[in-house]
A and B are shown apart, each in its own frame.
Chain A
Amino acid sequence: MTRIYKHRLFWPLVALAALLLACSIKRPDILGITVLDGHLFGAPIDILRNSAPLLLVALGMTLVIATRGIDLSVGATVAIAGAVALTFIASSDQPGSLGTALGAIFVAVGLCFLLGCFNGLLVAKFGIQPIIATLILMTAGRGMAMLITNGQITTVTSAPFSSLASGFLMGLPVAAIIAYGVYLVVSILVRRTALGMLLESVGINPEASRLAGVKSKTLVFTVYALCGLLAGLAGLIFASNTMAADANNAGLFIELDAILAVVIGGTSLAGGKFNLSGTLIGVLIITTLSLTVTVLGVSPLVTSLFKAIVVIAVTLMMSTRLRTMLAGLRERRRFQEVSA
């Protein structure tokens, strides 16, 4: 029993279960899944689909944080991806064709990859602190997205592109398949090869790992580039969900949500050991939270208050100081019982 209690994912899982429980107390049938036209429907499927963009961003963020970095620019990258893709479609002759949609996806993701490379260059090559290096793109990025859309909210109709977010494949939402597929591939890539361990070594001690022959600069550069690419994918799903490129609001605060998800999942911002399954649970907690708030009939504007409570609770429960304090308290009580 104590072993389960001490597992690092124990408290995050408790939080997730509590949120789902709160939902089902209010509406007992909410966790059911129904089949309609061969597609799966229901709140759990909604959570999977709505969590897709955040999962992609948080995945890249976990790897960046593992190297002792942080990427604040992902929200701006999300906005740029949407702006580029939809502007590309809007300016083409056949906005509805599959070729145009693929072209848009390719151009947008490619550009976001380059933006990630820019971050990587600043951090790995010039040795600028990650928080500042990515703050530059975070500030300038939304301006760039505005520049691309000319300050307007570009709306287009393109059936192939909109299927990114609203389509179904084998009964499951396409967005969820993309995000969870990428998650699986990256997890296998870092955990079945030495890559994950090398990333951790860079995060724990960059200088020592460099001396041990780890190409830390290349690794750091790569994770920022990958983070940009994943944020671009997330931006495409966002844009295809609304079919409108809103440079001001697309992906607003997604960097903060992603960092929260990573932290809730037990990866320390100090770098080193990272935990991809924890990040997944963190993403699910944050996505479920907005569902819970809606189901409980609380104004969605107050969601951030609940987010704060969840973050404070989870980080405090995971802090070693509080654990030792609680352990000391238990110890003292036992001592008093014995002496009495």
Chain B
Amino acid sequence: MSVATATVSGRVTPKLSLDRRYLPVIGTVVVFLLMLLVGGVRYESFLSPAVISNLFINNAHLIVLATGMTFVILTGGIDLSVGAVLALSSVITATLLQAGIPLIIVLPVALLAGSVIGLGMGVMIQYFEVQPFVATLAGMFLARGLCFIFAPQSVPIRDQGFVSLTNWGLTVGRWRLTAAVVIALLVVVGALWVLHRTRFGRTVYAVGGGEQSATLMGLRVARTKVLVYVISGTCASLAGILFAMFSRSGYALTGVGMELDAIAAVVIGGTLLVGGMGFVAGSLVGVMVLGLIQTIITFEGTLSSWWTKIVIGVLLLVFVILQRILSLRRT
């Protein structure tokens, strides 16, 4: 680990000493464990394999979204289009499958839709100097509008191949893994590898740490900044396919506001929105924390669903203030 640390941050940290950069992530993990503990004490069968498995199954699409979002936020950008792109890819998948087009063609087309939108936004941001917030907002409106052109109503998926894919699952004892969860976890592992073991990944951190310095160092800043939006768009359309597997349908109004869940997960996961600092693994834990809030409120039974939003808001507040205190102490 210390080798990777040295190359990323440019300074050698002695083994076994705690790097400051890991503090936010460790905080998130502590909160996650505390929530598990509280849930386990309060409710019977909370810490059962079924509950934990469902945590992953219900949030597989959000894991993929948050992973893509982490790339963008690490460069100091933001991507508001992911919720709409998720809907677009699920609608494309459902409509094309209904038209009888084979799965082997449908899936790449749906995936490519997100990449193309991401590429468009990246080019707008990098070459036409449109702010990321505005460019991805336009992408969001574009994708949502396209959804309704494809299918204003919910489209069920009955394709044999797709259904058998959704039914596939690994069961070990009472633990269960669906195809969607496996894909989501593979995406996380892939992202970890790209960010920490490739030149592109290191450039992502460098751009977020200081774009001008990165340019002066001769790094390929422009290419990187466009590519992160392509990655985020592709992740969003992959998440759309996972969501279509989850709901076995495509509907134009899915994923409204899901970009905020993804951003919240990334922030709770300890990634700074100014860029340059954060980890994909943190975002994964962030998604799990969000999912666990939902689970606890379901277990509580008497609490209404809107408490979820309030608790997420309060948690965001606590994390943001803690991060602020941490970064103040460092300077």
- Contact between chains at A270 and B131 (CB < 8 Å): yes
Given A136-B316, A139-B316, residue A269 in contact with residue B306 (CB < 8 A): no
B22-30, B33-41, B138-146, B222-230 - the one binding chain A: B138-146
Q: Which of B124, B131, B260, B316 is the one whose CB lies under 8 Å from A312?
A: B124
| Chain A residues closer than 8 Å to B31, beta-carbon distance | none
Main SS class of interface, A: helix
Given A302-B148, A308-B145, residue A319 in contact with residue B260 (CB < 8 A): no
- Contact between chains at A140 and B320 (CB < 8 Å): no
Q: Which of A139, A151, A316, A320 is the one whose CB lies under 8 Å from B124?
A: A316
Given A142-B306, A147-B310, A304-B141, residue A315 in contact with residue B128 (CB < 8 A): yes
| Chain A residues closer than 8 Å to B152, beta-carbon distance | 299, 301
Besides A139-B260, A304-B144, A305-B148, 4 other A-B contacts (C-beta < 8 A): A135-B316, A147-B306, A306-B145, A316-B124
- Contact between chains at B312 and A311 (CB < 8 Å): no
Q: How large is the interface on A (under 10, 10 to 19, 20 to 34, 35 or more residues)?
A: 35 or more
B193 proximal to A (CB < 8 A): no
How far in angstroms is the closest Cβ of chain B from A87? 15
- Contact between chains at A136 and B134 (CB < 8 Å): no
A166 proximal to B (CB < 8 A): no
Q: Which of B274-331 contact A (CB under 8 A)?
A: 274, 304, 306-310, 312-314, 316-317, 320-321, 324
| Chain A residues closer than 8 Å to B317, beta-carbon distance | 122, 136
A187-195, A237-245, A256-264 - the one binding chain B: A256-264
Residue in B closest to A143 when the chains form the complex, CB atoms = B309
| Chain A residues closer than 8 Å to B310, beta-carbon distance | 140, 143-144, 147
Contact with B along A93-133 (1 / 0, CB 8 A): 00000000000000000000000000000100011110111
A321 proximal to B (CB < 8 A): yes
B96 proximal to A (CB < 8 A): no
- Contact between chains at B149 and A302 (CB < 8 Å): yes
- Contact between chains at B148 and A299 (CB < 8 Å): yes
Q: Which 3 A-B pairs have the closest CB atoms?
A: A140-B313, A305-B145, A143-B309
Interface on A for B, CB 8 Å cutoff? 70, 122, 126-129, 131-133, 135-144, 146-147, 151, 247, 256, 259-260, 263, 268-270, 299, 301-309, 311-312, 315-316, 319-322
Counting chain A CB atoms within 10 Å of each CB, the highest count among B141, B146, B149 belongs to B141
Q: Which of A139, A299, A311 is the one whose CB lies under 8 Å from B309?
A: A139
How long is the Cα–Cα vector from A231 to B274 in the complex, in angstroms?
27
- Contact between chains at A256 and B134 (CB < 8 Å): no
Given A133-B320, A139-B260, A312-B138, residue A321 in contact with residue B128 (CB < 8 A): yes
- Contact between chains at A140 and B309 (CB < 8 Å): yes
| Chain A residues closer than 8 Å to B252, beta-carbon distance | 301
| Chain A residues closer than 8 Å to B314, beta-carbon distance | 140
| Chain A residues closer than 8 Å to B44, beta-carbon distance | none
- Contact between chains at B260 and A315 (CB < 8 Å): no
How far in angstroms is the closest Cβ of chain B from A151? 6
- Contact between chains at B321 and A126 (CB < 8 Å): yes
Q: List 24 A-B contacts (CB under 8 A).
A: A131-B78, A133-B320, A135-B316, A136-B320, A138-B260, A139-B260, A140-B309, A140-B314, A141-B313, A143-B306, A143-B309, A144-B310, A147-B306, A151-B304, A259-B137, A260-B134, A301-B145, A303-B145, A304-B142, A306-B145, A312-B142, A315-B130, A315-B134, A319-B130
- Contact between chains at A301 and B128 (CB < 8 Å): no
- Contact between chains at B128 and A316 (CB < 8 Å): yes
Q: Which of B138, B263, B321 is the one whose CB lies under 8 Å from A315?
A: B138
Residue in A closest to B256 when the chains form the complex, CB atoms = A252
- Contact between chains at A143 and B313 (CB < 8 Å): yes
How long is the Cα–Cα vector from A33 to B156 in the complex, in angstroms?
47
- Contact between chains at B313 and A146 (CB < 8 Å): no
- Contact between chains at B144 and A143 (CB < 8 Å): no
- Contact between chains at A128 and B146 (CB < 8 Å): no
- Contact between chains at B130 and A129 (CB < 8 Å): no
B264 proximal to A (CB < 8 A): yes
How long is the Cα–Cα vector from A260 to B138 in the complex, in angstroms?
9
Residue in B closest to A133 when the chains form the complex, CB atoms = B320
Q: Which of B138, B260, B316 is the one whose CB lies under 8 Å from A311?
A: B138
- Contact between chains at B316 and A315 (CB < 8 Å): no
How far in angstroms is the closest Cβ of chain A from B313? 3
How long is the Cα–Cα vector from A144 to B304 in the complex, in angstroms?
12
- Contact between chains at A142 and B141 (CB < 8 Å): no
B181 proximal to A (CB < 8 A): no
| Chain B residues closer than 8 Å to A127, beta-carbon distance | 324
How long is the Cα–Cα vector from A70 to B134 in the complex, in angstroms?
12
- Contact between chains at A305 and B128 (CB < 8 Å): no
How long is the Cα–Cα vector from A142 to B134 in the complex, in angstroms?
24
How far in angstroms is the closest Cβ of chain B from A56? 20
How long is the Cα–Cα vector from A131 to B272 in the complex, in angstroms?
12
How far in angstroms is the closest Cβ of chain B from A40? 32
Residue in A closest to B127 when the chains form the complex, CB atoms = A321
- Contact between chains at B124 and A70 (CB < 8 Å): no
Q: Which of B80, B306, B321 is the one whose CB lies under 8 Å from A146?
A: B306
- Contact between chains at A305 and B149 (CB < 8 Å): yes
How long is the Cα–Cα vector from A34 to B131 in the complex, in angstroms?
43
| Chain A residues closer than 8 Å to B92, beta-carbon distance | none
- Contact between chains at B324 and A269 (CB < 8 Å): no
How far in angstroms is the closest Cβ of chain A from B314? 7
| Chain A residues closer than 8 Å to B145, beta-carbon distance | 301-308
| Chain B residues closer than 8 Å to A128, beta-carbon distance | 320-321, 324
| Chain B residues closer than 8 Å to A136, beta-carbon distance | 313, 316-317, 320
How long is the Cα–Cα vector from A309 to B144 in the complex, in angstroms?
12
Residue in A closest to B304 when the chains form the complex, CB atoms = A151
How long is the Cα–Cα vector from A307 to B143 in the complex, in angstroms?
11
How long is the Cα–Cα vector from A89 to B324 in the complex, in angstroms?
41
- Contact between chains at B274 and A129 (CB < 8 Å): yes
| Chain B residues closer than 8 Å to A303, beta-carbon distance | 145
- Contact between chains at B320 and A132 (CB < 8 Å): yes
Q: Which of B146, B273, B312 is the one whose CB lies under 8 Å from A140?
A: B312
Contact with A along B167-181 (1 / 0, CB 8 A): 000000000000000
| Chain B residues closer than 8 Å to A151, beta-carbon distance | 304, 306
Counting chain B CB atoms within 10 Å of each CB, the highest count among A301, A304, A309, A321 belongs to A304
